[in-house]
Structures are given as structure tokens and as C-alpha cells.
Amino acid sequence: METEHTIETPHQRQNRHKAMEAISVLNALKEDFKFPIQSMGYFYDRFEKVYCHHEPLHEGKAKIGTMCIQIPSEIIYALDAVPIRLCNGFSTDDEIGSDLLPQKSCPLVKATVGWFASDNFFDKPDITFSPTTCDQKTKAGAIIESFGHTVIDVGFPRTKESEESRHYWRESVKSFAVKLSKFQGKKLTRSNLERAIKKVGYVQSLYHKLTEFRKNKAVPILGVDMFLVTNAFFFDRIDEWIGAVEKLVSELERRANDGVNVAGKASPRIIYTGSPPIFPNYKIPLIIEQSDAIIVADETCSSNRMFNDMAAVDEWNLYDMIDSVSDKYLKGCTCPIFTQNDDRIRRIIQLVRSYSGDGVIYQAFAGCQVYEMEQRSVLAAMEREGIPILYIESDYSPSQHGQLTTRVEAFVESLKNRKRKKK
């Protein structure tokens, strides 16, 4: 007999798949760890609202898609629009994108392309700006454009040190500002840009306040929770995000005073680096923290790299401000797409030192060539410094969980042994 059920549309099916992915990670964050933080509730709810209930946050606002962190959010906010960072962590979208890109592509890029291919958004960007960072992102922009979406390339240099690069990037940012200003029908002015720079600067200062607590011996917040907080900034209403983080800062202050430690007594302190963990692909960070280690700092573009360096403005006039903002996104960036990337190594070592790290875990997405390639120099540098490091390649598939857990556990145990012997 024929059944009487109505069948889900492809969008409904994708939404259910994404909701199922999202809820299982949110449940793990909420339920698998001791001493939950009350003010994290805002972030759990926000992710559930967006990814399980598919509710838009920015109706009536112009939404500007960004393909990488290099598109200055200061300029977007100044022009009264909302940046939506399109780096995607869903395995559902990765599967959709897999049909459109070569098999060995980066899962993050595949997921972003898959997202556009299915055209299934909670807050659909009206226009997308794509900085020409890695090859895959650069080409993905063109593929997304072929689906009928407006994508504008923003030329980004591959060398960081030269004066020509700096000049080229400043010009790119100016041209981006002009295009966005035309699109919005609004003028970028001294006052609206200054306001936006100060607001984003405040956001960064909040981030730094949060990370300070992680230097403590008793760590009051999990690394996975921190990833969720910074990840929310990809799409959240900025003022609500600020309010929630302010609450989080004061709760962490109280916890720090009370000596609350979310880690175990012997938990090794991990510095996380490599391909960005983007919700709900928290596979590796979750395994690390479920294996009795604690992530105390990270060097990734979904978190630290997004907030670390502030725009340093000398003269608060329009062109100086644009130049300072541009420099922040080039000079401060530790992305492995650059020819030379000693900055990244220095940053990792500095994080190990200032956060008393016991070891580094370096994740590369299988198919993310630049991270895979830079593995060699980072591993060599860590060896020179006597810093233990574990290199893991993974993708968005829900399998391999067992093997990954065994590898991480073995590394964590070796760090614990080192610690014991030192004592």
C-alpha cells in the first residue's frame, strides 16, 4: 500500500541533517563536561536557533557574505551592513559540495560551495566578497558566481613582507570600500568608520579579556566553548554578541577568583593550530577535551587570528583609517597561504610560552594543501623548541572517530608523563 506521509523537500531534508549535526555537538558541549558556565547558555541557544530552527537574525538588513577573514568587517559595519562569514563546518553541505569539486578538495571549501549550491540559508548574503587567499577559495568564488550569486573578488597578495604587497592590498581594500559603498548607497565617512573601528576594537578587547583567564593555572573555560563564542561572531548580531561576552567575562572573573577549573588535575594544556574548527565540526577539539586535556589557546582563523591584532590608527582621518584597517588584515595575518610564514611559527611559540602550553595539536583538513604543506616547517620549529606536537589530518566525515580518539589520547598521555617526570 502507498504510505500517507508527506515527504520532506530537499531543503527540509538538508535542514534536518544540519539540525541533527548541530544538536549532537551542542549536547556534547552542554552535557559532557563538568562545571558548565551559565552565560554560555546564550551561545548554545543562538546556535540552536540558527542551525536547528533555521531562524534568520538579520531580516531587513543588508547582508554581506565574506569568504575569508580578510574582508574588513569594520568597513561593512560602517556602511550599516552585516558581515556573514561563509566558512562552513557542516558535513551535510560538504557532501553536497563534493559533487561539484574535485575529490581531494578542502572540506571547508566544499561545504561553502555546497551551501550555495543548495541555496539554503538562514540569512542569505545579498552579495559576497571573496579575497583571493588560497587557490581553492579563489576558485570557489567563481563557482558560486556560476550559481547566479554576486561574488566580487578582492585581490589579496601572497607575500606579506614586501612594500608592493602592502600597497596592493591597501588599494584592494579601497576598491572594496568603494564597491560596497555603491552597493549600499551610503558614503563611508570619517565618523561612521571611526565608530565601526572602535566597536570592532572593543570586540577584540573582549576577546583578549576572555583569553587572559586561560593563562590561569585553573582554567575557567573550555576550548570548545571558546571556539563557539568566537564562531558566533561569524553571523551574530554584534551588539547582542557583545552583551553576551561581557556577561561571560564577568562570570569568568568570578570563576577565576573561586579557582574553578574545568580541566582535570593533570590535564595537559594544549595550543591548537591549523585548519579552523568551524561549527559543528568540533570533532578534534571535542576529542581533545574529552580525553582529559584542555585547549588553552589557539592559532586558527576561526578564533585567535580573527581577533588577535587590532587596527592601529595614527590619524583618525578616512584614508589613514582605511590603511590601518588594511594593514591589520595583512600584517597581522598568519595564514599559511603566504610564501614565508615565520610569523605563524612565532605566534605558536609565543602562545605556548604565555599560556604555559604542554603541547601543540596541529589539525589540517585533508585537502587543505597549504596547511598540509606548512606542517613540515612547523613540526621542525617545534622540535627545535622542544615543544611536543601532534599532527592530525581529518575531514568532516563523522567516521574515523575511534582512530582519532586513540591518537589524541596517546598524545595526551605522553604529555602527562612528561609533566610527571618534570616534577
Partner 1 sequence: MNYFVGIDIGSTAIKISVADETKNLVGYKISASGSMFYKYAQEALSELLRELGIDEKEVVYTVATGYGRKLFKEADENISEITANAIGAQQAAKEYGEIKTIINIGGQDSKAISLDGEGNVVNFAMNDRCAAGTGKFLDVVAMNLEIGVDELSDYHFKSVGTPLSISSTCAVFAESEIIGLLGNGHNVEDIVSGVHYSIAKRIVKLVKRVGVKETIYFDGGPALNDGLVNAIENELGHKIFVPEYPQITTSYGAAVLACDAFLSESAN
Sites of contact with partner 1 (CB under 8 A): 1-3, 5, 7-8, 10, 12-13, 16, 19-24, 27, 31, 52, 398, 401
Instruction: Write down the H helix ranges in 233-368.
Output: 238-258, 283-290, 304-307, 318-331, 342-354
> Taking the complex as a whole, how short is the minimal distance between the CB of residue 120 and partner 1, in angstroms?
14
Sign of the alpha-carbon dihedral angle for 127, 337, 166, 297: positive
> Taking the complex as a whole, how short is the minimal distance between the CB of residue 169 and partner 1, in angstroms?
43
Cell numbers for 286: 571535542
Residue closer to partner 1, measured from CB, 215 or 401:
401
Strand partners, 84: 65
CB of 90 closer than 8 Å to CB of 21? yes
> Taking the complex as a whole, how short is the minimal distance between the CB of residue 405 and partner 1, in angstroms?
12
> Taking the complex as a whole, how short is the minimal distance between the CB of residue 56 and partner 1, in angstroms?
18
Residue closer to partner 1, measured from CB, 48 or 409:
48
Cell numbers for 91: 558535513
> Taking the complex as a whole, how short is the minimal distance between the CB of residue 396 and partner 1, in angstroms?
14
The whole-angstrom separation of Cα 95 and Cα 90 is: 9
**CA 135-136-137 angle, 5° bins:** 95
Residue closer to partner 1, measured from CB, 30 or 158:
30
- Residue 171: phi and psi, rounded to 5, are -65, -40
> Taking the complex as a whole, how short is the minimal distance between the CB of residue 23 and partner 1, in angstroms?
4
Residue closer to partner 1, measured from CB, 31 or 59:
31
> Taking the complex as a whole, how short is the minimal distance between the CB of residue 264 and partner 1, in angstroms?
20
**Checking phi first, is residue 299 left (phi over 0); if not, alpha (psi -120 to 50) or beta?**
beta
Residue closer to partner 1, measured from CB, 21 or 323:
21
Residue closer to partner 1, measured from CB, 117 or 270:
117
The whole-angstrom separation of Cα 219 and Cα 267 is: 10
CB of 37 closer than 8 Å to CB of 260? no
Residue closer to partner 1, measured from CB, 19 or 387:
19
Residue closer to partner 1, measured from CB, 27 or 150:
27
| CA distance between the termini of the chain | 72
> Taking the complex as a whole, how short is the minimal distance between the CB of residue 400 and partner 1, in angstroms?
11
Residue closer to partner 1, measured from CB, 12 or 146:
12
Residue closer to partner 1, measured from CB, 213 or 396:
396
> Taking the complex as a whole, how short is the minimal distance between the CB of residue 3 and partner 1, in angstroms?
6
Q: Say which residues have a Cβ less than 8 Å from residue 278's Cβ, sequence separation at least 6.
A: 87, 88, 89, 108, 231, 234, 302
Cell numbers for 155: 585581490
Q: Give buried/exposed letters for 226-250 (b at 16+ CB in 10 A, else e).
A: bbbbbbbbbbbebeebbebbebbbe
Q: Say which residues have a Cβ less than 8 Å from residue 214's Cβ, sequence separation at least 6.
A: 220, 221, 226, 296, 297, 355
Instruction: Write down the H helix ranges in 52-124.
Output: 73-78, 91-98, 107-118
- Residue 294: phi and psi, rounded to 5, are -135, 130
> Taking the complex as a whole, how short is the minimal distance between the CB of residue 54 and partner 1, in angstroms?
11
156 CB-contact burial (10 Å; exposed 0-12 / middle 13-18 / buried 19+): buried
